[in-house]
Chains A and B, each alone.
Chain A
Amino acid sequence: MRGKVVKLGDHVNTDFVISGKYKFKTQDIKELSKHIFEDLDPTLSQKITVGTIIVAGKNFGYGSSREHAPRVIKEVGVSAIVAKSFARIFFRNAINIGLPVIVASESFIDSTDEGDKVSLDLEKGIIRNETKNMEENFKPYPSFISVVMREGGIVSYFRKYGAFPWDTR
């Protein structure tokens, strides 16, 4: 997978992804996705296109357990999020819905700029910034997570196999 970078800072919390005030207006992911990142930067949503890779700082997805946050990010076309670290509920929610979330080194992230072209190999665990000609390895997911990811999330996995990955192990 390959995409253009939209760069964000540290502590992008779930209320920045979609302001809590919309949660109770609607639960519709398409509708919510119109307001993505509104409280962080109202112009940000225009920069995101299909395939965008978000590169962010520490503790991405901090805050609520609302799965709406990763779903909305996937909905607007983001293909992966690379960050220095993730908040745990966001991390597992993203995996469950098949949105790749990768931890990269501080130096890789600090030297990556908005607009750079980045490619990811999830199976081999390689991330490459093509613009800056940098590459590094990350630990690939454990096997049972990578099957979930390969099938586009746990729901798609179940629909295809009629069982959860742990049932068939």
Chain B
Amino acid sequence: MSGTIAEKILAKASRKKYVEPGDFIVADVDVVFAHDGTATLAFDVMKELNEEKVFDSKKVVLFIDHAAPSPSPAISAIHNRMRDFSKLHNVKLYDVGNGICHQLLPSEGYVKPGSLVIGADSHTVTHGAFNAFATGVGSTDAAIAMMTGKIWLKVPESIKLELNGNLSEGVTSKDLVLFLIGNFKADGFNYVAIEYSGSTIEKLSVDSRMTIANMGVEMGAKASLMPLNENTRVWLSKRVQGPITPVEPDKDATYYKTYSFDVKSIEPMVAAPPNVDNVKPVTELEGLEIDQVFIGSCTNGRLEDIELALRILKGRKVKSRCIVIPASKEVYYEALKKGYIEELLRSNCVVGPPTCGPCIGAHMGLLGPNEVGISTTNRNFPGRMGDRDAKIFLASPLTAAASAVEGKITDPRNYLKEVS
């Protein structure tokens, strides 16, 4: 019996020879995590179940990242409950200042090819970039997984997305995934596992692969899976223990559908409010005045993203407020060593501590009534990043940086032509 990447990982996790789409399985998780937006509800569920012990203290991880450092006494109390839980159960907690869960989980070595990763956060699909089956769940599922190491799952259909060719100058992995979301829409891959393949994915950096996998959930996907590539293997080899064994699809695996794209013709894209699938080429929105730019989040807060932004920001001053937040302490530190933080400050950007920041509208740069923001994050629902009447445009770090310099939505290619 042959399988897709998703089916092969799920078969192994449920100790079966093979699984088929539609099967209900109970699988062993390799790691389960929650953050300050979801952990305490999971603790409450564990309490309701009269069980507070975790199944394996090495496989449960907590992150304080959504509102960190705490902006209010109520949130401080949530954080303290997480600290107490971590001490009591000897579970690793990444406290204030370490960074975003989806950045830390792989960079701290918790994710390997073939892993089953369960997170109490919808962007858990990010870890599919590492050839793992990773999916987001609610607090009840997370609590049960923490207690028992098990999760019920319905095996999803797999669809194959073949991406071939090189991205054009000024076009990034973010533009590519926005293009896909615009094409397939917010529910286009509801309940399916996306399996990426093709030369584009094969060549991409780890940072770019994470950006694409991250936004799989914006098309409704249960998981975004990528085959291991050389960049990812090298990256992981410095971080994980034990052998790295890639999971490849069988030659005769069955896909519900296969789509192919040549990525060469994709332009810089922007998701306009009020939905993430309202995607347009930047050229259609150019000139729209903005109040704030945010470069950061689990979608685009990595070193590569800061480098991209600096291709335009370096030596220029921003016209709108521009907040830059590295996704983790490691990213921050690398950016510091390379002189990027200084360059950002010279451009008059505000650089924040590693955290989710304004992405979730909890702290550090909320948009006011009728303000317009352009952001490298992943959701633009009304109210997501502040006031309900604020408008949020989602774009790549290049487009965000060019827009910051002009104070209006700007095609980054205008700037890149000058330098090259």
**Chain A contact residues, CB within 8 Å of chain B:** 11, 13, 15-16, 19-21, 23-27, 39, 58-59, 62-68, 70, 85-89, 92-93, 96-97, 142, 144-145, 153-155, 158-159, 164, 166
Q: List residues of chain B with CB within 8 A of the CB of A66.
A: 37-38, 138
Q: Tell me how many residue pairs across A and B have CB atoms closer than 8 Å.
A: 120
- B388 interface residue (CB < 8 Å to A): yes
- Residue of A13, A19, A65 with most partner-chain B CB within 10 A: A65
Q: List residues of chain B with CB within 8 A of the CB of A39.
A: 382-383, 388
Q: List residues of chain A with CB within 8 A of the CB of B49.
A: 155, 158-159
Residue of B nearest to A169 (CB): B26
> Could you list 10 examples of A-B contacts with CB < 8 Å?
A11-B186, A24-B75, A65-B137, A67-B138, A88-B220, A89-B136, A92-B137, A93-B141, A153-B140, A166-B26
Cα of A29 to Cα of B85 in the assembled complex, Å: 21
Identify the 9 closest CB pairs spanning chains A and B, nearest first. A67-B138, A93-B138, A59-B187, A65-B122, A96-B140, A65-B136, A166-B26, A15-B381, A67-B139
- B329 interface residue (CB < 8 Å to A): no
Q: Known contacts being A20-B383, A20-B384, A66-B138, is A88 close to B38, with CB within 8 Å?
A: no
B26 touches A63 (CB 8 A): no
A24 touches B66 (CB 8 A): yes
B136 touches A24 (CB 8 A): no
Q: List residues of chain A with CB within 8 A of the CB of B187.
A: 11, 58-59, 62, 85, 87
B360 touches A20 (CB 8 A): yes
Cα of A166 to Cα of B220 in the assembled complex, Å: 27
New A-B pairs, 13, CB < 8 Å, besides A21-B386, A142-B24: A19-B383, A20-B362, A21-B362, A25-B72, A27-B41, A65-B136, A65-B138, A88-B220, A89-B122, A92-B137, A93-B141, A155-B48, A155-B49
Residue of A nearest to B139 (CB): A67
- B78 interface residue (CB < 8 Å to A): yes
Give min CB distance, B137 to chain A, whole Å: 6
Q: List residues of chain B with CB within 8 A of the CB of A85.
A: 187, 190
Give min CB distance, A105 to chain B, whole Å: 16
Q: List residues of chain A with CB within 8 A of the CB of B305.
A: none
Q: Which of B144-152, B235-243, B255-263, B287-295 contacts A (4 or more CB under 8 A)?
A: B144-152
Give min CB distance, A4 to chain B, whole Å: 27
- B383: contacting residue among A21, A58, A67, A97, CB under 8 A: A21
Cα of A23 to Cα of B137 in the assembled complex, Å: 17
- B112 interface residue (CB < 8 Å to A): no
Q: List residues of chain B with CB within 8 A of the CB of A68.
A: 41
- Residue of A39, A87, A92, A154 with most partner-chain B CB within 10 A: A92
Cα of A89 to Cα of B140 in the assembled complex, Å: 11
- B40 interface residue (CB < 8 Å to A): yes
- B361 interface residue (CB < 8 Å to A): yes
Cα of A155 to Cα of B71 in the assembled complex, Å: 32
Q: List residues of chain B with CB within 8 A of the CB of A159.
A: 48-50
- A59: contacting residue among B71, B150, B186, B361, CB under 8 A: B186
A67 touches B140 (CB 8 A): yes
- B86 interface residue (CB < 8 Å to A): no
- B190: contacting residue among A59, A63, A65, A164, CB under 8 A: A59
Cα of A63 to Cα of B75 in the assembled complex, Å: 22
Give min CB distance, B43 to chain A, whole Å: 10
- B55 interface residue (CB < 8 Å to A): no
Q: Known contacts being A19-B383, A59-B187, A67-B41, is A87 close to B138, with CB within 8 Å?
A: no
- B285 interface residue (CB < 8 Å to A): no
Q: Known contacts being A24-B362, A65-B120, A155-B49, is A88 close to B381, with CB within 8 Å?
A: no
B362 touches A23 (CB 8 A): yes
B37 touches A23 (CB 8 A): yes
Cα of A68 to Cα of B140 in the assembled complex, Å: 11
Q: Known contacts being A15-B383, A62-B220, A159-B48, is A164 close to B137, with CB within 8 Å?
A: no
A154 touches B140 (CB 8 A): yes
Give min CB distance, A74 to chain B, whole Å: 12
B387-403 interface (Cβ within 8 A of A): 388
B45 touches A88 (CB 8 A): no
- B1 interface residue (CB < 8 Å to A): no
Q: List residues of chain B with CB within 8 A of the CB of A96.
A: 138, 140-141
B120 touches A63 (CB 8 A): no
Cα of A62 to Cα of B137 in the assembled complex, Å: 13
B138 touches A24 (CB 8 A): no
- A166: contacting residue among B40, B50, B150, CB under 8 A: B150
Q: List residues of chain A with CB within 8 A of the CB of B45.
A: 155
Cα of A24 to Cα of B50 in the assembled complex, Å: 26
Give min CB distance, A148 to chain B, whole Å: 9
Q: List residues of chain B with CB within 8 A of the CB of A89.
A: 122, 136-138
Cα of A144 to Cα of B26 in the assembled complex, Å: 11
B74 touches A26 (CB 8 A): yes
Give min CB distance, A83 to chain B, whole Å: 11
Cα of A159 to Cα of B256 in the assembled complex, Å: 39
Chain B 33-45 per-residue mask, 1 if CB under 8 angstroms from chain A, else 0: 0000110110001
